Structure 1
Amino acid sequence: MTINCNGRLLDLTVPKVMGILNCTPNSFFDGGKYGSQNELLKQVEKMLAEGAAIIDIGAYSSQPQADFVSEAQELERLMTTLIMVRKHFPDAILSVDTFRAEVARISIENGADIINDIAAGKLDEKMLPVVGHYKVPYIMMHMQGTPQTMQQFTNYDDILHEMIYYFSERVASAREQGITDIIIDPGFGFSKTMEQNYHILNNLHLLKILELPVLSALSRKSMIYKMLNITPDMALNGTSVLNTVSLQNGAHLLRVHDVKEAVECIKLTRALYEN
């Protein structure tokens, strides 16, 4: 199970880690944490040294009720970081987290290898054609509404059945546009209640029916810290627990703030099954 990242094959048969690099002032955990270019580069260097296979750069906070960010603002935040990281780490596999086609296009032309879209193309009709044109891997997430409205859309008759139908339709649309390398993300915390998040995690293996790599993005999310009545900065242990559950249920990629701990989860989980 491999994806082609600008001529480099990334084998997801053995699960990999995607390190989060937010260049936003308002992300729920690390917003505004990196106050200088040097601090950003040190964080990338640290994540790569700890074993991150992909660095995921985001310039639009998608937490519930996040402030709207214009396309111009997103590009301004993103391009400086993307170009800088690509220059200093030419061999790194870089992903850009955006739901806007124009941002995706400019990002790919400036060094992005993967597009990570929380809306699976549903918030910008040009997204799938752009990704198909450039032949880059595409991560599509399950969400209803927008980041500002998504928590109004949590009513499902059968959330897993509806999620599988959603991905089947979006994958078919992506294939029509020539997108060959697709990863699916169930979207923990997006258009879902606490109970729905845990139901999906417990049944993550059911997404195997789609025969595509699955990304699990649980890092320090509210389903952890609200359940434990703690804050995001205290949620690393809970993140490691749920990352392990994700791996046991078939996840191929962990998107995290804390790379070292996620790599350890993968090593220990693999040791458990190999023995």
Structure 2
Amino acid sequence: MSVYFRPIIQTDPKLPSDAVLLHGGPLWFHRVEPLERGVAHALMPASELPTEFLDRLSAPRVVSGMPKDRAALMGVLNVTPDSFSDGGEFMAPDKAIAHAKKMIAAGADILDIGGESTRPGAAFVPEVEEVARTAPIITALRSAGVETPISIDTRKAAVAEAALSAGASMLNDVSAMTYDTAMAATAVRSGAPICLMHAQGDPETMQKDPYYDHVLLDVFDYLKERIAVAEAAGIAKDRIFVDPGVGFGKTQAHNLSLIRGLSLFHTLGCPILLGVSRKRFIGNIAGVERAEDRAFGSVSLALEGIRQGVQIIRAHDIEAHSQAFALWRAMHT
């Protein structure tokens, strides 16, 4: 059976002599939790890690075009009629531009444009319609002088191609290239970074009794396999991001397990994107029904992601996240 290694991330400014800096930054670890299916392990010293894992965890991880001294904030801009939190609000170009500029002013480093809702139970959107929703908005943003990197949130290669032609520069595929295998060729031709996300099932069915043998390790294995597929297709590893897909075919318990164990995903050797913003399980735990009222809970989980070294946080409430992150950095760097 495979053995996995989860670094126990620390933030205290007093480092022990055997501390290993996570990616050369302010976070560190000196203990590691070995994980193995069906076997319980005691913590081990970081010095006993196999070299390949130690190298992946200690090597600086610079995300091209992103801040070098902090996690990047990805602002959500849905141009859909039915997204769970902001459906129908930003489909008109003038409203999309205004909201994008507001997020950028508040601290967004990336804009993530989506034309197909991926909320639980969402219906499939034909690619022609998805292109019609997204490409004109991206063109309008560029024409309005928006220079911030734009990510296209799609699982369809044709939609990605149109978005890249309109001015997008990053791909965010919730299916990790399993829905449309042509997505790999799009990433190779364009040279655009791509985020590979884990999801169990498609949006219409993913929340119908999701099951895992060991959610943290099952998601890790899936992402490891998708990275290998991407590399075999010709996508350079330094252009690949991973997202554990919180809320995509997971129960509340699954979601919490993934967030607690986020640091495991650093051993994949790719930057980590975390998207938890306004999700239903936050409302269930906090007793908040409306998605737009879940900013406080979203920030709380995003800060846990920052504490574990996540490189990109995807969020709706950029001002709240930006302010919280600035205070976190002041305390820990």
Using the size of structure 2 for normalisation, the TM-score is 0.78
**Whole-angstrom CA distance in 2 between matches of 1:260 and 1:112:** 23
- Check the 8 A contact 1:139/1:184 in 2, yes or no: yes
Deviates more, 1:251-260 or 1:29-38: 29-38
Corresponding position: 1:206 with 2:260: no
The correspondence of residues 208-223 of structure 1 with structure 2, limited to 5 A, is 208-223=266-281
Match of 2:184 in 1: 128
Percent identical across equivalent pairs?
33
Corresponding position: 1:39 with 2:95: yes
- Check the 8 A contact 1:41/1:85 in 2, yes or no: yes
Deviations 1:196-217 (A, max 9, x none): 1011111111111112111111
- Check the 8 A contact 2:101/2:146 in 1, yes or no: no
Gaps (5+ residues) in structure 1? none
**Whole-angstrom CA distance in 2 between matches of 1:154 and 1:35:** 32
- Check the 8 A contact 2:63/2:271 in 1, yes or no: no
Specify the code of the residue in structure 2 equivalent to 1:200: L
- Check the 8 A contact 2:77/2:90 in 1, yes or no: no
Match of 2:62 in 1: 2
Using the size of structure 1 for normalisation, the TM-score is 0.94
**Whole-angstrom CA distance in 2 between matches of 1:265 and 1:33:** 26
Corresponding position: 1:137 with 2:197: no
State the SS of the aligned residue for 1:140. Answer: strand
The correspondence of residues 188-203 of structure 1 with structure 2, limited to 5 A, is 188-203=246-261
State the SS of the aligned residue for 1:196. Answer: helix
**How far off is 1:13 after superposition?**
4.9
**Whole-angstrom CA distance in 1 between matches of 2:197 and 2:68:** 18
Deviations 1:128-168 (A, max 9, x none): 12111211000110012211121236211111111111111
**How far off is 1:175 after superposition?**
1.2
**Whole-angstrom CA distance in 2 between matches of 1:170 and 1:45:** 34
- Check the 8 A contact 1:136/1:179 in 2, yes or no: no
CA RMSD of superposed structures (Å): 1.4
Structure 1 pair 88–29 and aligned structure 2 pair: CA distance change class (3 A)? same
Specify the code of the residue in structure 1 equivalent to 2:116: Y
Specify the code of the residue in structure 1 equivalent to 2:200: Q
Deviations 1:165-211 (A, max 9, x none): 11111111111222221111111100100111011111111111112
Q: How many residues align?
A: 270
**How far off is 1:249 after superposition?**
1.7
Specify the code of the residue in structure 1 equivalent to 2:152: V
The correspondence of residues 187-266 of structure 1 with structure 2, limited to 5 A, is 187-230=245-288, 231-266=290-325
- Check the 8 A contact 1:12/1:253 in 2, yes or no: no
Instruction: Determine which structure has more spread, i.e. the larger CA radius of gyration.
Output: 2
